[in-house]
Chains A and B, each alone.
Chain A
Amino acid sequence: MFSILQTIWLTFLHLFHKAETVQYPEEKPYLAPRYRGRIVLTRDSDMNERCVACNLCAAACPVDCISLQATEDESGRRYAEFFRINFSRCIFCGFCEEACPTYAIQLIPDTEMGEYDRQNLVYEKEHLLISGQGKYHNYNFYKQAGVDMGVKGKGEGEMEEKPIDVKSLMP
């Protein structure tokens, strides 16, 4: 009984507290660099698309709002033929960023993406790609991966030995 009255009283006292409200369009709130806002696709230090179209972001997406198709260029470098995010479905959970093995997909502190036409919330690759590396610099998946997909030759990657000459008789 007393606690009920105390609750009421304490609530009443909040009348004299300062409001936390930030007057949004005039006053911008602070968004941390790791804030999970709009999704972008980044490029590596050579300004090539980082996305290797591995489909892991799409698989991780709980609302299934990412779809893409893999293809490859003349040198065999795999990239996304199309990459589509339906932001009208996106819940900005950041799972895609966590799933991304190449730092390609990143969430940035931008939330202002309101549209009058829902169709405009469907972002294709040209809308998503930025000309920068985003949060993680100097990472190039193809230089790490042990495959030759036109970026580096066999054995030229980090932590790789020269390819083996199978016909050699040396041990």
Chain B
Amino acid sequence: MTMVKIQIDGKQYEVKQGKNLLEAGLTLGIDIPHFCYHPAMGSVGACRLCAVKKFRDADDKQGRIVMSCLEPVTEGMIIETRDDTSKDFRASVVEGLMTNHPHDCPVCDEGGECHLQDMTVMTGHNYRHFDFKKRTHNNQYLGPFIAHEMNRCIQCYRCVRFYRDYAGGKDLNVFSSHNHVYFGRHEEGTLESEFSGNLVEVCPTGVFTDKTFHKHFTRKWDLSNAPSVCTGCSVGCNIIVSERYGSLRRVMNRYNGAVNGYFICDRGRFGYEFVNDEKRIRTIKIRHKKNDNQEEAENETLISLLKTELSKDKRIIGIGSPRASIESNFALSTLVGKENFYHGISKKEHLLTDTILNFMKQSSIRTPSLKQMEKADAVLVLGEDLVNTAPMVALALRQSTRNKSFETAEKNGIPSWNDAPLRELAQDEKSPLFVITSFKDSLDEIAENSIRESYDGIANLGFAMAGLLDTKAPSPSNLNKEHQNLAEKIATILKNAKNPLIVSGVHSGDERMVQAALNMAKALSSVNKNCMLSMVLPESNSMGLAMMPGKSLDDLASLEEIDTLVVLENDLYRRASEKSVNALFEKSKKVIVLDHLINKTTQRADLLLPAATFVEAEGTLVSHEGRAQRFYKALPDKEPVMESWRWIGEMIQAKEQKQEATWKRFDDLVASLTHELPVFDGLEKHMPDADFRMLNEKVPRQTLRYSGRTSMNAKVAVSETRITLDEDSPLTFSMEGQSEMPPSSLTPFYWTPGWNSVQALYGYLDEPNGSMKGGDPGIRLIEPAENDNTEYFKEMSSTSENHERELQIVPVYQIFGSEELSTKSPALAKRIKDPFIYLNPEDAKAVGVDDDELVHLEIDDNKLEIKVKIENSLPKGVVGMAKNFPEMPFVMLPGYGRFKKINS
């Protein structure tokens, strides 16, 4: 990157060429006020606030005002930000914006972290000269997530630029003109985009605020925060979780330049409320005899019971979970021994994740971070409904299609940050994206080709493309002409692209499809070294679990009898058929379950232990990329709720009749984990341990302005209680400590002088849109191998011929509904649709049902009544069925089933 020398306020700086002045200034730590510029969305020069003075040369004393966000840095540039003309100009811009801004900061949820407040202070405007009435707007109901207060709007256009241009939403727009400009929907209703929550952070004032946060509102400075990792899917977005008065208050995006950047999806942002659920398991419950009720019990009773139930002569089986941290899973594996540790996922999922993991370890193909996905210039999506299974990947792919327009713009001398002319120039020009799925996909609208096929068809296309790219790869023979042409087109484009990317995953549950994707990636890498492969996994720690030795849930069927079964944070009824899980519990003499929320599995427990959720514990999750990321406690311990690994530590202590704790603190557990399982090497080295100190002090979770310390517990006892000590991490439940620039993985909140809003983030980054200072958090555990050791998968024969009279049922995942814990959050629950099946119109006609009618479905041993949705995009003979919805029985998909109309 070439550097240019510029002079700002009389000082010489070197900045990167190609940036605009505002970016350069923010990188250097110079506070230039601005509203409409957002690092992820570029500049449009709409707000006129970032005005600075530019001088022609050293002799020019007059200078002229320019908008720093639209001014490319040039060699020898002379800039003044503090001269009176530009200062007055900026103050008058804010004054103008404030003429209609309501007098309601005290009741505004943005107050205290408001970009407008920051800018008003920064520009120095403090006295209202405008004596006339304020214009007002009516608000709209925008669904359970987002509250709307249009009076506060300052017309920066960030919301529509994010919602429409960046995230591809359709139902938020700008209406009317001059000072009547209105941002909203054409009519009241729920915002449909899966990324609508980001409006809360994007909006510089309080027009869009978090409705779930409003219900238990707390000012930013009063929150006790912790860096965390989203457990909603396998992407592993970084989040900040915030606590006040012992309950989880909100989730905000935590910047990670390599993963989620500035945004997270709505499942991650609004799916947190299950932590505060009244039905949380908060006591130890024991069932003394089979068929008795579970009764609350004391810790002593539990320990004595554990000593007998876990004695060494007993056969103990442990079932882990892909939604528990690797540490908790490892603790369980230590308790029961490797040979008795089961992953708690179905055989098929186990096989697929294993296949992918082995491929990732042995191949030389890079698994890209989200940031790298955004840089891909040709993308193929094979059989994954990304917006519902890994929403942020879909958002990244959406950005990747813009790469071509950046190229065109560069040829025309338009820098990539200059958003408006760039989009004007690009029009519909997009980098190629191919979406091959079984039903409609939100990426279709930006895809060059969207192909709808059955699973067999998708796999065949994949194999065919692999065969075209590399003759060594097996190729199907029975491809029709149309598909053959398509395969050739895609293969050629991928082959010639600079950074081609293949995205697939295991959500299809189809082995052939996964193999086809892997074959394709291998074939592509033989002709294009830059090719990338991203395989989306089902849950937040699916990858971490796969890296641990263990068997699948179905393997338990072969066991005759189990003395004690320990189930870790896992609802088995979501993983296998009811019959097989019931059989498993019946052959187990004692069942110990650790979990947060009551579900069917916890109801079968003889010993039910209250396990801490991800915001009450620390742990590490491995994302589908292979990136291990640590999450930390935001809520202090509430007896008797404990982290799962600590419960299991107590079990080991009971089992071995030891006096001292198994792992005194979290670091001991991590140390024994990396010692036992070298794949996790680096965890302890690359993440600050509990002894880490900044200038001899811990990192405070609370801001310096944290209020109410001497009063919040005064109702219980007037003398202040000691703060909860955190032995397991370098963070402290206090406002005291060293809060200035902790390591990126330990940053609990963003604040820099003058910046109280989320824009304080500038101070924590190398440059806007860059990496966190000192490197982005998390470490990649799996790097591409030097030499490719993978083999092509032999093409398997299709199995569809055996099911002539039945229809193939494929899973349909939904961002709201298919993830277990988030569905327990009241706001998110409102967005969950009723369980449904997608039927092709022809198939629907054959069954004789219409839209929204109930149909009788027989699949495996299940008989279901389910609502029909006619879906034109489905190929004939394929049925989509809502997967993993609450209250729905487990069905192994893809599968084959029979339909019957219900006569009413």
Direct contact, A vs B (beta carbon within 8 Å): yes
Supply 20 A–B pairs (Cβ within 8 Å), ascending by A. A52-B107, A55-B222, A58-B707, A61-B707, A64-B708, A67-B708, A69-B216, A84-B715, A86-B714, A101-B106, A102-B106, A119-B718, A122-B715, A144-B103, A145-B103, A145-B106, A146-B104, A161-B136, A164-B176, A166-B137
User: Across the two chains, which residue of chain A brings its CB closest to B706?
Assistant: A64
A61–B711 CA distance with the chains assembled, in angstroms: 11
Q: Is A149 part of the binding interface, using a Cβ–Cβ cutoff of 8 Å?
A: yes
List of 5 A-B pairs having minimum Cβ-Cβ separation, nearest first: A146-B102, A67-B708, A54-B106, A58-B707, A145-B104
- With A162-B136, A166-B182: A145-B111 Cβ-Cβ less than 8 Å: no
Instruction: Point out the residue from A54, A64, A119, A124 that lies within 8 Å of B709, measured CB to CB.
Output: A64
Q: Give the distance to chain A from B126, nearest Cβ to Cβ, in Å.
A: 15
Q: Give the distance to chain B from A148, nearest Cβ to Cβ, in Å.
A: 7
User: Across the two chains, which residue of chain A brings its CB closest to B180?
Assistant: A164
Contacts of B708 in A (CB 8 A): 58, 61, 64-68
Selecting from A3-11, A23-31, A40-48, A152-160, the interface stretch reads A152-160
User: Across the two chains, which residue of chain B brings its CB closest to A145?
Assistant: B104
Contacts of B710 in A (CB 8 A): 63-65, 86, 89
Instruction: Point out the residue from B104, B134, B135, B711 that lies within 8 Å of A65, measured CB to CB.
Output: B711
- With A159-B134, A164-B137: A141-B106 Cβ-Cβ less than 8 Å: yes
Q: Is A18 part of the binding interface, using a Cβ–Cβ cutoff of 8 Å?
A: no
Contact A160 B136 (CB under 8 A): yes
CB 8 Å contact bits of A66-79 with B (1 = contact, 0 = none): 11111000000010
- With A52-B106, A54-B107, A171-B178: A160-B711 Cβ-Cβ less than 8 Å: no
CB 8 Å contact bits of B150-164 with A (1 = contact, 0 = none): 011000000000000
Contacts of B470 in A (CB 8 A): none
- With A65-B711, A66-B707: A166-B175 Cβ-Cβ less than 8 Å: yes
A163–B136 CA distance with the chains assembled, in angstroms: 5
- With A69-B216, A84-B714, A124-B715: A56-B107 Cβ-Cβ less than 8 Å: no
A56–B111 CA distance with the chains assembled, in angstroms: 10
User: Across the two chains, which residue of chain B brings its CB closest to A83?
Assistant: B711
Contacts of B301 in A (CB 8 A): none
Q: Is A118 part of the binding interface, using a Cβ–Cβ cutoff of 8 Å?
A: yes
Interface centre among B107, B111, B134, B139 (most CB of A within 10 A): B107
Within 8 A of B (CB), among A118-171: 118-119, 121-122, 124, 141, 144-149, 154-155, 159-164, 166-167, 171
A119–B716 CA distance with the chains assembled, in angstroms: 9
Contacts of A122 in B (CB 8 A): 711, 714-715, 718
Contact B104 A59 (CB under 8 A): no
A122–B707 CA distance with the chains assembled, in angstroms: 16
Contact A67 B711 (CB under 8 A): yes
User: Across the two chains, which residue of chain A brings its CB closest to B138?
Assistant: A163
A58–B219 CA distance with the chains assembled, in angstroms: 10
Q: Is A107 part of the binding interface, using a Cβ–Cβ cutoff of 8 Å?
A: no
Q: Give the distance to chain A from B589, nearest Cβ to Cβ, in Å.
A: 47
Contacts of A162 in B (CB 8 A): 136
Within 8 A of A (CB), among B713-727: 714-715, 717-719
A contacts, CB < 8 Å to B: 52-56, 58-59, 61, 63-70, 78, 84-86, 88-89, 101-102, 118-119, 121-122, 124, 141, 144-149, 154-155, 159-164, 166-167, 171
A84–B713 CA distance with the chains assembled, in angstroms: 10
B contacts, CB < 8 Å to A: 101-108, 111-112, 132-139, 149, 151-152, 175-178, 180, 182, 184, 216-219, 221-222, 245, 705-712, 714-715, 717-719
- With A146-B104, A154-B138, A160-B133: A86-B711 Cβ-Cβ less than 8 Å: yes
A147–B108 CA distance with the chains assembled, in angstroms: 9
Interface centre among B103, B106, B151, B706 (most CB of A within 10 A): B106
User: Across the two chains, which residue of chain A brings its CB closest to B712?
Assistant: A67
Contacts of B135 in A (CB 8 A): 161, 164
A66–B38 CA distance with the chains assembled, in angstroms: 37
- With A64-B710, A160-B136: A101-B715 Cβ-Cβ less than 8 Å: no
17 extra interface residue pairs, beta carbon distance < 8 Å, beyond A66-B711, A122-B711, A166-B182:
A52-B106, A56-B106, A58-B222, A58-B707, A59-B705, A64-B707, A65-B708, A70-B217, A85-B711, A124-B715, A141-B106, A146-B101, A146-B152, A147-B102, A147-B149, A160-B134, A164-B135
Instruction: Point out the residue from A65, A146, A164 that lies within 8 Å of B182, measured CB to CB.
Output: A164
Contacts of A59 in B (CB 8 A): 112, 219, 221-222, 705, 707
A55–B176 CA distance with the chains assembled, in angstroms: 36
Contact A118 B718 (CB under 8 A): yes
Q: Give the distance to chain A from B250, nearest Cβ to Cβ, in Å.
A: 13
Contacts of B108 in A (CB 8 A): 147
A160–B136 CA distance with the chains assembled, in angstroms: 7
Instruction: Point out the residue from B107, B132, B176, B245 that lies within 8 Å of A149, measured CB to CB.
Output: B107
Q: Give the distance to chain B from A89, nearest Cβ to Cβ, in Å.
A: 4
Q: Give the distance to chain B from A125, nearest Cβ to Cβ, in Å.
A: 11
Contacts of B149 in A (CB 8 A): 147
Contact A159 B133 (CB under 8 A): yes
Contact A166 B136 (CB under 8 A): no
User: Across the two chains, which residue of chain B brings its CB closest to A141?
Assistant: B106
User: Across the two chains, which residue of chain A brings its CB closest to B222?
Assistant: A55
Contact B136 A164 (CB under 8 A): yes
Contact A146 B719 (CB under 8 A): no
Interface centre among B104, B135, B178, B221 (most CB of A within 10 A): B104
Contacts of A171 in B (CB 8 A): 177-178
Q: Give the distance to chain A from B779, nearest Cβ to Cβ, in Å.
A: 38
A42–B139 CA distance with the chains assembled, in angstroms: 30
Contacts of A118 in B (CB 8 A): 718-719
A86–B712 CA distance with the chains assembled, in angstroms: 9
Interface centre among A86, A101, A146 (most CB of B within 10 A): A146
A171–B182 CA distance with the chains assembled, in angstroms: 14
Contacts of B718 in A (CB 8 A): 86, 88, 118-119, 121-122
A56–B105 CA distance with the chains assembled, in angstroms: 10
Q: Give the distance to chain A from B114, nearest Cβ to Cβ, in Å.
A: 13
Contacts of B132 in A (CB 8 A): 159
Contacts of B101 in A (CB 8 A): 146
Interface centre among B135, B139, B708 (most CB of A within 10 A): B708
Q: Give the distance to chain B from A171, nearest Cβ to Cβ, in Å.
A: 7
Q: Give the distance to chain B from A102, nearest Cβ to Cβ, in Å.
A: 6
Q: Give the distance to chain B from A105, nearest Cβ to Cβ, in Å.
A: 12
- With A65-B710, A67-B711, A161-B133: A147-B138 Cβ-Cβ less than 8 Å: no
User: Across the two chains, which residue of chain A brings its CB closest to B707?
Assistant: A58
Q: Give the distance to chain A from B350, nearest Cβ to Cβ, in Å.
A: 46
Contacts of A144 in B (CB 8 A): 103
A121–B102 CA distance with the chains assembled, in angstroms: 38
User: Across the two chains, which residue of chain B brings its CB closest to A124?
Assistant: B715
Contacts of A160 in B (CB 8 A): 133-134, 136
Instruction: Point out the residue from B104, B134, B216, B715 that lies within 8 Å of A161, measured CB to CB.
Output: B134
Contacts of B222 in A (CB 8 A): 55, 58-59
A155–B43 CA distance with the chains assembled, in angstroms: 34
A64–B720 CA distance with the chains assembled, in angstroms: 12
A121–B715 CA distance with the chains assembled, in angstroms: 10
A70–B175 CA distance with the chains assembled, in angstroms: 33
A161–B151 CA distance with the chains assembled, in angstroms: 11
Contacts of A155 in B (CB 8 A): 136
Contacts of A161 in B (CB 8 A): 133-136
Q: Give the distance to chain A from B826, nearest Cβ to Cβ, in Å.
A: 16
Q: Give the distance to chain A from B470, nearest Cβ to Cβ, in Å.
A: 57
- With A54-B106, A118-B719, A164-B182: A154-B707 Cβ-Cβ less than 8 Å: no
